[in-house]
Structure 1
Amino acid sequence: MANIDDALLALTLEEEEDVPFILPNHPKYCSSEKNVMSIMGRTLNPACQNMADLILDIPRKWQVYDRVRGVALSSDRFQFIFKYEHDLEEVLRKHVWTFNEWSVVIDRWVEKPPENYLKFIPVWIQIRNIPVNYYTEASIYDLADIIGEVKEIAFDSEKPHSRDYVRVKVNFDVSRPVRRSKAVVLPTGETTTIWYDFERIQKRCYHCQRLTHEKDKCPILVNMRKGKAELRRANILAGKQKRELVLKEMDPLFGVLTEEQVGIDPDSGRAKINEEVLQEMRTYLLAGDGSDRKVREERVKRSIMELANNKREQNSVLRLEAGLVITSSLDKGKGPVYDQETTSKKTANSNTGILGDKMMSSAINAGLAMRRVAGVHVTASERLVEPMGSENSVFKSCSNGFEVGSSEGSSSGQRVRRYQPRRKNATDKKTVTRKPRITKGGSNEVKNPEAIGVSPQKRKAEGVKEVSGDVRSKIAKRCGPE
């Protein structure tokens, strides 16, 4: 307890003095030597340019991925430290760089940056539609100076120009709009329009032409929308205030009822009290005089107050709407309800037998199947009447729902292939050749070989030997190993 009392006594209500921290002046605390080989930069639209992605992707664009190290200093400031001087100079030489299609401003590191540091980008612009009588270096300089500080002009009056523009390098202030055109009054009094195109700059605000935001977030449009919203609210309030009053000073109901009681219901859009009812109230009040008038006014007020919490009575008494009708028929006026599932099952009476639920359900869903068979329309009901085996019957039914000789769909929804007899392909008749007639003497001469279709000179198969014995038992025998 003694320690706690000492601690409480040591407490003070006085504000402690904030003593600043002094950073030691030692080389290990300073990184100026490394920063000499670095580039500083900032994003112009941080909402669309993620800093973590920029640190990883920009080196790939610069093609120095393994020779540079990126550092994220804040949500819109970054630094890249290079290994080699020529890589740093090559990156700065291309001037305008973009990330995620929005421009970034880069410049070489300086120990004490000036006030306008990272506010300008060197960019090449193309100037078009210069009047022919003023196509001079002085005119080009003045026209480019409208955009920014002129650094370089790509122009030679002694050489031909094949392009319809002149290129000028300027220091452009990124806080200003990217001007697309400028009206110029010539010394002759004529007015012409000069067009500007910015190289290597992609996205911009399509309203104010600035590089720092998108059109949806343009401050000018945001202020315009706010102004329109405020004006719209003011008009609505003014309209409510200027709304024509139902109860005027000369009205007998003036002072008896309020405008909220006789106005329009904001929820339903209907008048709270019908005009006929109001007219009857006026007539009732005008019929009295003096003290009787006061009594009548109190009765009118009391009647309105009694109906304040009863919507049904208000609709019938004050609005003169038709009374409510309550019916005990729960399905009164109900139309057919279409559903994929069958909600009721139909059965036949006991005299004709009971059909299965499944068969009846499928019959209802399928309906009466109409088919054209042998030029006659026949329904499923006629199929049961006509005997299956009769000659007049057009059905040759079987248990699986198919009919012989029909390719139309049966009642089961299947199609039956029509039987067609197979037709043999016609082949050419072969020429009949007769064997040569062999005589008893062993000669096989043929008389008139052309008549019987035998070639007069028949070749003998190579490698065939004749076997001794009867000529009729000659056998062709191969001599080779096959």
Structure 2
Amino acid sequence: MSIAMDKTLMVMSLEEEDVPFDLPDLPELSSIERNYLSLIGRILNPDCQLMPILIVEMPRKWQKVGKCRGVALSKEKFQFLFDNEFDLLDVMDKGVHTFNEWTLVIERWVENPPEDYLQYIPLWVQIRQLPVNYYTAESVDALGDLIGKVDTVAFDPTKVQVQNYVRVKVFFDVSRPLRKQKVVNLPKGGTATILFSYERIQKRCYECQRLNHEREVCPFMLRKRQLEAAERKASGSFMNIVKPLVLKPNDPLFGVLKEEQVGINPITGRQRIAPDVVEGMRQYLLVANIDERRVREERVKKSVAQAEADPIAKKSMLSLEPIPKITNILDKQKGIVFNYEDVCSESSPAVMDYGVQTPKLMASAISAGSMQTGSIMVEPRKSVSALARLGEVPNLYQFSSTVKRDCPFVASSSGTIIGKAGISRRRPTKTK
């Protein structure tokens, strides 16, 4: 038995080639027609956003129960299929979507998704403390570009503006932090601190301001602690990390463009010059004639310098980004700005939208003190919610020009004080 098994093992090859399986191109195997009316989404914080609960709760949150059904594609990706396009577009127009107070990335299904699919969310940003001398749509566009790709600027200088901010819609890269403020150097000297607030964004990491984890598990905070420990151990003897050059010595653009003109912009996280534009410059400089090459090099330098001087030309010609739209509807798709830091700093839970705190009912009643009506002292009325908790019914007095009587009161469902049921005034009959 063992000899036969040994012969079988010797015949077997341990290096069998794994041939890929070719899926047949048949219409019954494809779900493209069904996926046309669907949305694809991605969870940013899987530790706080459970997929089974999301699949059940999101139709209720969208008010589309019975009109769509969810499918869990993986631990982080999901799909919702809709019965009609109206409901799908209604969900897309809501802007930023959240689940369990953490942001979701949702886009409409496409057959061939691009590389940056499910990487951006449409986000309305409120920009505050704009310099008075630079209160223009172009300045708002330049400041909004620090957050993401600007799509719409809600600005109309001919209208009355009661808010102390200007709104701009950007496509925000969810892998980047939400910048809270930025110091800007003004052209004629001086600086200004610009503040940014984000509508419909709820929770985020308060260490690195990113949307995909909590502060307790922030990798940047853990890395910072490791570096501090290593620095203490090595007594601060660290070698400077040399960044690799974007333009190599054998690159045709080497010496023509500066290193700070190409590569990734650390402020925006995007390419300073689009790769297609850089490649076009390289092809333009590949000529055999040395004199002609020098002339073309000067043209490239001059063209890039002129484009960098104009923000609109820099965005459209060098970065190949679309020019933002200007709308005079200042409150277009306006949402709530959640400020959890103010909530945590205050002891009172009664906090309204936009960080405005309302006074407590009992506190306002106590601060008002006792009220005097004529020669009779009347104690302040307690709030309806307080009466419901304490189970008390106050004995107030009802006064008129001819009669004074005891009249117990109870709180109604609408919050008003009405007479107690079952007790009515004794009046003479109509015949008397």
TM-score, normalising length: structure 1: 0.47
User: CA offset at residue 232 of structure 1?
Assistant: 6.2
Q: CA deviation at 1:188?
A: 2.0
Alignment of 1:136-155 (within 5 A): 136-155=136-155
Cα deviation, 1:188-216, whole Å, max 9, x if unaligned, reads 20111011100000011101111111111
SS across alignment from 2:61: helix
Quote the residue 2:119 is aligned against: 119
CA 1:128–1:26 in 2, change beyond 3 Å: closer, same or farther? same
Residue 230 of structure 1: CA displacement? 4.6
Match of 1:50 in 2: 50
Match of 2:226 in 1: 226
Residue in structure 1 matched with residue 179 of structure 2 by the alignment? 179
Structure 2 residue identity aligned to 1:97: H
Aligned counterparts of 1:140 and 1:234: Cα–Cα separation in 2: 46
What SS does the corresponding residue of 2:21 show, helix, strand or coil?
coil
Distance in 2 of aligned mates of 1:75 and 1:99: 15
Tell me how large the CA RMSD over aligned residues is.
2.0
**Structure 1 residue 10: Cα displacement:** 6.7
Percentage identity across paired residues of the two chains = 54
CA drift at 1:153: 1.3
| TM-aligned CA deviation for residue 6 of structure 1 | 9.3
Q: State the SS of the aligned residue for 2:193.
A: strand
Aligned length: 235
Over 3 Å counting, the alpha-carbon distance change for 1:80 and 1:230 in structure 2 is same
Q: 1:77 to 1:2 in 2, by over 3 A?
A: closer
Partner residue of 2:85? 85
Alignment CA distance shift 1:155-1:228 (3 Å): closer
Q: Aligned partners of 2:231, 2:133: CA distance in 1, in Å?
A: 51
Q: Distance in 1 between matches of 2:54 and 2:220?
A: 29
* CA distance in structure 2 between the partners assigned to 1:5 and 1:74 by the alignment: 42
Question: Which residue does 1:203 correspond to in 2?
Answer: 203
1:341-420 maps to which residues of 2 (within 5 A)? none
Higher relative contact order (CA 8 A, sep 6+): 2
**Amino acid in structure 1 at the alignment position of 2:19:** V
Structure 1 pair 4/161, CA: closer, same or farther in 2 (3 Å)? same
- 1:273-325, Cα deviation, whole Å (9 max, x unpaired): xxxxxxxxxxxxxxxxxxxxxxxxxxxxxxxxxxxxxxxxxxxxxxxxxxxxx
Does residue 103 (structure 1) correspond to residue 103 (structure 2)? The answer is yes
Asked which structure has the greater CA Rg, the reply is 1
Tell me the amino acid that sits aligned with residue 45 of structure 1: N
Report the equivalent of 2:67.
67
Query: Are residues 131 and 20 of structure 1, via their aligned partners in 2, closer, same or farther at CA, if it must alter by over 3 Å?
Result: same
Q: Distance in 1 between matches of 2:64 and 2:3?
A: 64
- Tell me the SS of whatever aligns to 1:210: coil
Q: How far does residue 93 in structure 1 lie from its aligned partner after superposition?
A: 0.3
Note the C-alpha offset of 1:145: 1.3
Aligned equivalent of 2:26: 26
Partner of 1:37: 37
Which whole-Å deviations, capped at 9, do the CAs of 1:209-238 have from their partners, x for residues lacking one?
111111111111111222344556779xxx
* Larger relative strand fraction: 2
Name the structure 2 match of 1:308: none
TM-aligned CA deviation for residue 56 of structure 1: 0.8
Partner of 2:58: helix, strand, or coil? helix
**Cα separation, 2, equivalents of 1:6 and 1:234:** 59
Q: Please give the residue correspondences for 1:255-294 in structure 2 after superposition, counting only pairs within 5 Å.
A: none
AA at the equivalent of 2:194? I
Tell me the residue number matched to 1:253. none
Q: Distance in 2 between matches of 1:9 and 1:208?
A: 57
Distance 1:5 1:191, change over 3 A: closer
Q: Distance in 2 between matches of 1:31 and 1:209?
A: 39
TM-superposed CA distance for 1:129, in Å, is: 0.5
Query: d(CA) in 1 for partners of 2:98 and 2:146?
Result: 24
Q: Which runs of 5+ in 2 are unaligned?
A: 236-432
Task: Give the AA of the match of 1:46.
Answer: P
Q: Secondary structure at the match of 2:105?
A: strand
Q: TM-score, normalised by structure 2?
A: 0.52
